[in-house]
Chains A and B, each alone.
Chain A
Amino acid sequence: MVPLSYYLVLSGILFACGVTGFLIKRNIITIFMSIELMLNGVNLSFVAFAAHWHALAGQVFVFFVMVVAAAEAAVGLAIIIAVYRTRETLNVDQVNLLKL
């Protein structure tokens, strides 16, 4: 028997790792993977709460999160390819055309 709070702590740690990766990484693909890590952390708390409150709707929500993540990955990676074609770099520090 595992307390609900353990699952929440694990999901919080995964989310914190995702936020940190988003902030400290400079490769645009790794930043994108950090976002996926955050989505996974949230999914874990959805499933844990679904088991805790005996509400199956929580698991259905995980599917919607996965669908949105898949759509986001397809569009995001296409944007990364387009950025690489025009700027020839994957470093976000060098994609600074809008900077003053």
Chain B
Amino acid sequence: MSLHLILFLAFGAVCVAGAVNLLAQTHPINSALSLIAVMAALAGEYLLLGAEFVAAVQVIVYAGAIMVLFVFTIMLLNAGEEEHTRGSRVAIMLGVPGMLLGSILVAWVVLRHSGTEPVAAGALPGDPQAIAQLLFHEFLLPFEITSVLILIAIMGAVVLASKPEAVQKRKEH
């Protein structure tokens, strides 16, 4: 067993354990913390694949910025334990075995029919320079469109989250 495989299995185990813990926990703050663990372990997987810049962005943007937003909202709304109704208990009883069956089926098909040629550690060096070349030449138009998307998202978030009285006051002025 090579070191590469051992590292892959270690990070993968953290990923799966965090994802299952996200489902098992009833308090949203615990789910958020296990999701951060999943994202940090995924950054390790990206490093194994040679995508250094993607790994750094994963930690900074996903595990950093987006999850801080989630934790902030959980704290702001003082979210407590989730309550279950009869319908949601039925969903758990049917959903968990269904998910297990589905993922076993997908794993079986992928392991059976996809190519088994190995991916070397750092097979494709994704250094910032090469990615910037692609991003600012070939993908320039999508890049500009995403900047417009971000602007719209900022304005939408401000409008949605501002208090209704504040909007009313702004209209009167």
Contact = CB atoms under 8 A, between A and B. Distances in A.
Contacts of B4: 1-2
A60 B49 CA distance: 14
Contact of B111 (A2, A5, A47, A56): A5
Given A1-B2, A44-B45, A74-B157, A50 B51 contact: yes
A37 B38 contact: yes
B131 A56 contact: yes
B110 A2 contact: no
B61 A70 contact: yes
Contacts of B50: 51
Given A4-B115, A29-B70, A80-B73, A23 B131 contact: no
Main secondary structure on chain A at its contact with chain B?
A: helix
Interface string A64-96: 101111111111011111101100001101000
Contact of A24 (B46, B48, B92): B92
> Which of A30, A32, A85 has the most chain B CB atoms closer than 10 A to its own CB?
A30
B32 A33 contact: yes
Interface residues of B, number: 87
Interface string B64-100: 0110011001101101001111011001100110010
A25 B79 CA distance: 14
B161 A81 contact: yes
A63 B126 CA distance: 12
Interface string B14-56: 0110011011000010011001001100100110111101100
A69 B66 contact: yes
Contacts of B146: 64, 67-68
B168 interface: no
A19 B99 contact: yes
A13 B115 contact: no
B116 A3 contact: yes
B51 A51 contact: yes
Interface of A: 1-10, 12-14, 16-21, 23-27, 29-30, 32-34, 36-37, 40, 43-44, 47-48, 50-52, 54, 56-57, 59-60, 62-64, 66-75, 77-82, 84-85, 90-91, 93
7 contacts: A3-B118, A27-B82, A30-B28, A33-B35, A59-B51, A79-B160, A82-B160
The 3 closest A-B pairs by CB, nearest first: A1-B118, A71-B153, A78-B160
